[in-house]
Amino acid sequence: MDIGAHPATRATAQDAVRLARELYGLEAKACPLPSEYDDNFRLETGDGTRRVLKVMHPMREARFIDMQCAALGRIADRDPALAVPRVIPNRVGRLWLKAAPAGEDRIVWMLSYLPGRPIAGLRPVTPDLLEELGAALARLDLALAGFTHPAAGRELKWDPVRAGWIRTHLGLVQDAPRRALVERVLARYDAELVTALPGLRRSVVYADANEHNVLVSIEPGRRPRLSGILDFGDMIETVTVAEIAVAAAHASFGAADPLAAVRPLVAGYHRRLPLMEDEVAVLDILVRTRLAVSVINSACRSAAEPGDPYLTVSEAPAWAALEAFDRMPPRLAHYAYRDACGLPPAPHGPAVVRWLEESGDAFAQVLEHDLRSEPVLVLDLSVGSPMLGADPANLETSRLAETIEVAMKDAGAAVGVGRYDEARAIYTTGAFAAGGSPTAERRTVHLGIDLSVPPGSPVRAPLDGTVHFVADNAAPKDYGPLVILRHAVPTGEEFFTLYGHLDRNSIAGLEPGKSIRAGEAFAAVGAPPANGDWWPHVHVQIILDLLGFDEDFPGVAAPGRRALWTGLSPDANLILGIPAGRFPRPDPPKTETLAARRRLVGRNLSVSYSEPLKIVRGWMQYLYDETGRAYLDAYNNVPLVGHSHPRVVRAIREQMALLNTNTRYLHDNLVRYAERLTALMPAPLRVCYVLNSASEANELALRLAREHTGREDVIVLESAYHGHTTGLIDISPYKFNGPGGRGRKPWVHVAPLPDDYRGPFRRDDPEAGPKYAAAVGRLAAEAGARGGLAAFIAETLPSVAGQIVLPRGYLAEAYRHVRAAGGVCVADEVQVGFGRLGTHFWGFETQGVIPDIVVLGKPIGNGFPLAAVVTTEAIAASFANGMEFFSTFGGNPVACAAGLAVLDVMKLERLQDRALRVGSYLIAGLERLAERHLLIGDVRGSGLFLGLELVRDRRTLEPAEAEASYVVERLRELGILAGTDGPLRNVIKIRPPLCFAEADADIFVAALDQVLSEDPVRIT
Ligand SMILES: Cc1ncc(COP(=O)(O)O)c(C=O)c1O
């Protein structure tokens, strides 16, 4: 029955109010809800209780409503926690009855109201949410197991196992390629589904998890969570797997990579209600069939209502999904779903692997060397390989070849072995990238084994086979000349072996179909550039199913699909036979590293991100995790001139290889460094102490100040942090007032933060600086009453306090008060100094002051432990009171070499200018975002030391703490590192290495734009 052909008089809100009163004894306001044929109303009573009143289309049959009531009742009994509507009985205790609101008899019933919004258009739909949906659908089906109802056996056009009807409407699809696509789906439907049908599990299923029926709850700064499943009107008795197929078809709407959406759904479902192998086998065709039903249904409607543009728009995502599926080999989807269920991806895989394991000793050697007994060198080509280092130049073919040759020579090995299932950074061309962004996941995981031997070495077949494919994939970093052999195990299962990077001439005569005997030399190892431009080696890979990819079957997989692809290409060592003992123990997976760290290392050493990162390589403004995923580093200020900067690395390495000792002997590095540092400072800052950490340096600054003044008291800024030692915790309100803190010591005086965004004096007040500084005067007097002020210490742009830019005139006035009280002024330049601010080399210069003591650390060694204190002759003289000053590692020749190299790079690469240029460009981009995203309350900072303060309301400045942490977590998922800070934890901190480029700023701004557009942080 086509309800659409029988338009009914719509029930009104007044009808709903009356029906609620008469049938349910409920006084409520009614608000219509969108619905195609029925009239649904949200009711709200005086005490805020919400209900849904459903006035069904007159053509609706009572038995279907009855079925829904029975099913919902059963779910409520069996799984009361599952968020589906409850049916509310009316005054006479019935679940539904007929009324005639507009003259026609209509079924009226009432449901509880589920809060939330439909998942349609939600941003972001994460894999976790889809997995949650899959699990909820499984719970539904578990609750409905054994449920029967006379109405459930109906024929429904949406039932994907009854899709034959679309055949007669194919002519409505005008576009020939699209029509052919649906025909392909129907051909598979006939061949795979119709035959499998009798064996499949059946039950009554909900079968309508579309994007309008799945509700999610959104709270600011929290991941969207599933909050309900609605509309049981399409329940049918069909194959149980149709449940997940319908949800999968809708989840894949518009997706470029539909598997990314479907896999988590399947995994979530399977976790609660395990799918059978024969169900997984038909899932792909069921999903495609349901999509085909969807597009043909739209075509039918367009034909019935020509010119309705809405219909064309609404069918576009289904076509996009269908087309995306069509680009994928069907068995790949099947294998991907099996993998999502924890099954071996290829059903015949275990039999092949078992046979390979059992027959291993019988296989012929692939090379002239016996890999079972001869010494081989297992090479470390992983992302974090110390042999390769971080510099991409090391990955250039000739250098890589030389590195490998030298390593093999040093080890006395005739064969170098490149490992299977190893994530590598060596796949540098665009063919390994998933998209344009450098932070998108790349293919990194090696699916074969590399055998490094000189070019021309013969390559032999390990077992009998037939030549299946001969090709030359000439693109750089591809296979080059390759051969694929086909083999069969005695029980008939087929598999393939692939040999890549061969010598072109050696395979010139090979034709597909040619038999190759075990031990027969059928090819020779090639040389660059003709071998795909790799170091000389043969790549050997087992392939269980070529999937139609043939010569393009991947030799390297994306880490996110690691189990799938390693399942399709088991370890080639099954045929090579290299003894397991030759392989070094692989690095532990991230979970083990985390567990070991929790066990072995102090607990309050915090780890960033809810999903911690294991970083194994750093190059300039990028960090790389163990899977080779690149992260744009917008957070770390310590690698000032770039991670692993070659000039700094070389300086450290060379000095370390020559001498590292202490300052009790003369060495020119120390005085050279002191000379270079002091030359960057204004007079009278001329005396240097070189140390290991900023904490050590701030401790020394305190001692200098106290020795010089003979006093104890110190003025600090609210929310300041100066280091982790006992003395510095005492002068760090961020710590002593924070969790675990022991409060303020009497000798510490805390000045209010001169925050002109949030504090009492704002940017529109030209006198804000001196007004904030007046508090320093008052505190100096307070210290005076206690025996005198020793020092005032402040960061010249407070960082932990939230990337605060001090208002103009603040430090000048504060320093005046301090000096008038006899104290000294200490500038903590640990984070902001050294050119980062762009306009000036030192932060204090931006305030037009000269401190008495300057403290440096963090970035000045580019990651090598190095810190310094620079002060005046007078203060240094007071400190030289007879007590020796000695820091064992402070100022050692290696540290000073690092410091000198950093200064060289700053100058050579004009990094201060770059900080100003790129920083200004980034600020402009962030300010443009602030025009569109109300969450951004403030963009502040200078050069590449920036803060974004997030607020829920630009008037009240209500801090958006949860949103800030959401943004940082989501940026990390998009491959960008930033952090949060500030006393309200609502400031996004941006302070990248100074090699950050305009292109990086573009990536950052685009990603931030995407995240700020997501529902949990969007302010409308
Ligand atoms: C402003 C400031 N001073 C001093 C320190 C202490 O540095 P370190 O941990 O190198 O001792 C820090 C560290 O975060 C800092 O941010």
Joined together, the tokens standing for residue 747 give 């000798």
Site to substitute for ligand 1 among 638, 830, 844, most atoms within 8 A of C-beta: 830
CA distance 396 to 9: 74
Q: Is 722 in the pocket of ligand 1 (CB under 6 A)?
A: yes
Separation of 781 CA from ligand 1 center, angstroms?
A: 29
What does the angle CA 563 – CA 139 – CA 289 come to, to the nearest 5 degrees?
A: 65
The helix/strand/coil state of 701 is: helix
Strands of 260-384 (E only): list them: 376-379
Separation of 721 CA from ligand 1 center, angstroms?
A: 7
CA distance 864 to 398: 31
Instruction: Return the residue whose CA atom lies nearest to atom 6 of ligand 1.
Output: 723
Q: Is 723 in the pocket of ligand 1 (CB under 6 A)?
A: yes
Ligand 1 atom closest to Cα of residue 867: 10
Q: Is 709 in the pocket of ligand 1 (CB under 6 A)?
A: no
pLDDT at 24: 96
Question: Is the previous residue joined to 529 through a cis bond, with omega within 30 degrees of 0?
Answer: yes
Separation of 730 CA from ligand 1 center, angstroms?
A: 14
Q: Is 698 in the pocket of ligand 1 (CB under 6 A)?
A: yes
Which residue stretches of 731-872 are H helix?
733-736, 768-786, 810-820
Separation of 221 CA from ligand 1 center, angstroms?
A: 29
Task: Return the closest-CA partner of residue 832 out of 806, 853, 856.
Answer: 856
Q: Is 858 in the pocket of ligand 1 (CB under 6 A)?
A: yes
Arithmetic mean of pLDDT, 527-553: 97
Q: Is 693 in the pocket of ligand 1 (CB under 6 A)?
A: yes
Separation of 753 CA from ligand 1 center, angstroms?
A: 18
CA distance 878 to 852: 13
The helix/strand/coil state of 38 is: coil
The helix/strand/coil state of 336 is: helix
Q: Is 991 in the pocket of ligand 1 (CB under 6 A)?
A: no
Site to substitute for ligand 1 among 636, 693, 721, most atoms within 8 A of C-beta: 721
Arithmetic mean of pLDDT, 392-418: 97
Q: Which range, of 97-101, 420-424, 548-552, averages the lowest pLDDT? A: 97-101
Q: Are 935 and 958 in contact (CB under 8 A)?
A: no
How far apart, in Å, do the first and last CA atoms of the chain sit? Answer: 42
Joined together, the tokens standing for residue 713 give 């008291």
Q: Is 695 in the pocket of ligand 1 (CB under 6 A)?
A: yes
Separation of 867 CA from ligand 1 center, angstroms?
A: 10
How far lies 830's CA from each of 496, 926, 944, in Å?
A: 59, 25, 14
The helix/strand/coil state of 99 is: strand
Question: Is the previous residue joined to 992 through a cis bond, with omega within 30 degrees of 0?
Answer: no
Ligand 1 atom closest to Cα of residue 858: 10
CA distance 315 to 309: 10
Instruction: Return the residue whose CA atom lies nearest to atom 14 of ligand 1.
Output: 723
CA distance 108 to 724: 69
Ligand 1 atom closest to Cα of residue 695: 11
Residue 428, strand partner residues: none
CA distance 597 to 585: 19
Separation of 964 CA from ligand 1 center, angstroms?
A: 23
Q: Are 583 and 381 in contact (CB under 8 A)?
A: no
Site to substitute for ligand 1 among 858, 866, 981, most atoms within 8 A of C-beta: 858
Q: Is 721 in the pocket of ligand 1 (CB under 6 A)?
A: yes
Ligand 1 atom closest to Cα of residue 865: 10
Q: What is the pLDDT of residues 811-870, one digit of tens each?
A: 999 999 999 999 999 999 999 999 999 999 999 999 999 999 999 999 999 999 999 999
Q: How many CA atoms lie within 13 A of 789 on its CB side?
A: 28
Separation of 427 CA from ligand 1 center, angstroms?
A: 38
The 10 Å CB-count burial string (b at 16+, else e) for 936-960 is bbbbbbbbbbbbbbbbbeeeebebb
Q: Is 506 in the pocket of ligand 1 (CB under 6 A)?
A: no
Separation of 642 CA from ligand 1 center, angstroms?
A: 19
How is residue 273 annotated by DSSP?
S
Site to substitute for ligand 1 among 722, 796, 842, 864, most atoms within 8 A of C-beta: 722
pLDDT above 90 for 1010: yes
Q: What is the pLDDT of residues 734-748, one digit of tens each?
A: 999 999 999 999 999
The helix/strand/coil state of 792 is: strand
DSSP per-residue string spanning 165-186: GGGGGGGG---HHHHHHHHHHH
How is residue 213 annotated by DSSP?
T
The helix/strand/coil state of 353 is: helix
Separation of 696 CA from ligand 1 center, angstroms?
A: 9
Instruction: Return the residue whose CA atom lies nearest to atom 2 of ligand 1.
Output: 722
Characterize the bridge pairing of strands 979-981 and 936-942.
unpaired
pLDDT above 70 for 2: no
- Residue 470, H or E segment: strand 465-473
For the purposes of burial, counting CB atoms within 10 Å of the CB of 252, is it exposed (0-12), middle (13-18) or buried (19 or more)?
A: buried
Q: Is 803 in the pocket of ligand 1 (CB under 6 A)?
A: no
How far lies 393's CA from each of 19, 308, 390, 529, 644, in Å?
A: 77, 58, 9, 17, 13
CA distance 720 to 851: 18
DSSP per-residue string spanning 537-560: -EEEEEES--TT-GGG--SEE-GG
Residue matched to tokens 């043939």: 550
Q: Is 831 in the pocket of ligand 1 (CB under 6 A)?
A: yes
Q: What is the pLDDT of residues 113-140, one digit of tens each?
A: 999 999 999 999 999 999 999 999 999 9
Ligand 1 atom closest to Cα of residue 698: 4
For the purposes of burial, counting CB atoms within 10 Å of the CB of 14, is it exposed (0-12), middle (13-18) or buried (19 or more)?
A: exposed
CA distance 840 to 328: 55
Separation of 857 CA from ligand 1 center, angstroms?
A: 7
Q: Is 863 in the pocket of ligand 1 (CB under 6 A)?
A: no
Separation of 830 CA from ligand 1 center, angstroms?
A: 6
pLDDT above 90 for 889: yes
Starting at the edge strand found earlier in the chain, the sheet holding 214-217 runs 117-118, 214-217, 225-229
Q: Is 828 in the pocket of ligand 1 (CB under 6 A)?
A: yes
Ligand 1 atom closest to Cα of residue 800: 16
Separation of 650 CA from ligand 1 center, angstroms?
A: 26
Sign of CA dihedral 302, 307, 311, 316: positive
Residue matched to tokens 């086979």: 465
Arithmetic mean of pLDDT, 424-437: 93
Joined together, the tokens standing for residue 192 give 């795979």
Cβ contacts of residue 290 below 8 Å, gap of 6+? 158, 160, 163, 245, 246, 248, 249
Joined together, the tokens standing for residue 672 give 């050279």
Q: Is 826 in the pocket of ligand 1 (CB under 6 A)?
A: no
pLDDT band of residue 798 (cuts 50, 70, 90) is very high
Q: Is 795 in the pocket of ligand 1 (CB under 6 A)?
A: yes
Separation of 912 CA from ligand 1 center, angstroms?
A: 21
How is residue 189 annotated by DSSP?
I
Separation of 862 CA from ligand 1 center, angstroms?
A: 14
Q: What is the pLDDT of residues 656-710, one digit of tens each?
A: 999 999 999 999 999 999 999 999 999 999 999 999 999 999 999 999 999 999 9
The 10 Å CB-count burial string (b at 16+, else e) for 675-706 is ebbbeebeeebebbbbbbbbbbbbbbbbebbb
pLDDT at 314: 73
Task: Return the closest-CA partner of residue 641 out of 620, 615, 624.
Answer: 620
- Residue 20, H or E segment: helix 13-24
Neighbouring C-beta atoms of residue 412, cutoff 10 Å: 8
Task: Return the closest-CA partner of residue 519 out of 397, 366, 674, 330.
Answer: 366
Separation of 856 CA from ligand 1 center, angstroms?
A: 9
pLDDT at 1: 53
Q: How many CA atoms lie within 13 A of 28 on its CB side?
A: 28
Joined together, the tokens standing for residue 97 give 């009855």
Task: Return the closest-CA partner of residue 727 out of 692, 698, 758, 704.
Answer: 698
Neighbouring C-beta atoms of residue 390, cutoff 10 Å: 24
Ligand 1 atom closest to Cα of residue 697: 11
User: What is the residue-averaged pLDDT of the chain?
Assistant: 96
pLDDT at 34: 86
CA distance 130 to 145: 22
Characterize the bridge pairing of strands 713-717 and 789-795.
parallel
Percent of the chain with pLDDT over 70: 99
Instruction: Return the residue whose CA atom lies nearest to atom 7 of ligand 1.
Output: 694
Instruction: Return the residue whose CA atom lies nearest to atom 15 of ligand 1.
Output: 722
Instruction: Return the residue whose CA atom lies nearest to atom 11 of ligand 1.
Output: 695
pLDDT at 752: 98
Arithmetic mean of pLDDT, 332-358: 97
Q: Is 859 in the pocket of ligand 1 (CB under 6 A)?
A: no
CA distance 864 to 660: 14
Task: Return the closest-CA partner of residue 70 out of 170, 169, 143.
Answer: 143
Site to substitute for ligand 1 among 831, 832, 991, most atoms within 8 A of C-beta: 831
CA distance 536 to 524: 11
Separation of 798 CA from ligand 1 center, angstroms?
A: 12
Q: Is 843 in the pocket of ligand 1 (CB under 6 A)?
A: no
CA distance 225 to 218: 7
The structure's pTM equals: 0.96
Instruction: Return the residue whose CA atom lies nearest to atom 4 of ligand 1.
Output: 722
pLDDT at 332: 97
Residue matched to tokens 């006379």: 150
The 10 Å CB-count burial string (b at 16+, else e) for 617-656 is bbbbbbbbbbbbbbbbbbbbbbbbbbbbbbbbbebbeebe
pLDDT above 60 for 174: yes
Q: What is the pLDDT of residues 986-1003, one digit of tens each?
A: 999 999 999 999 999 999
Task: Return the closest-CA partner of residue 806 out of 945, 960, 678.
Answer: 945
Starting at the edge strand found earlier in the chain, the sheet holding 867-872 runs 685-691, 867-872, 853-856, 824-828, 789-795, 713-717, 748-751
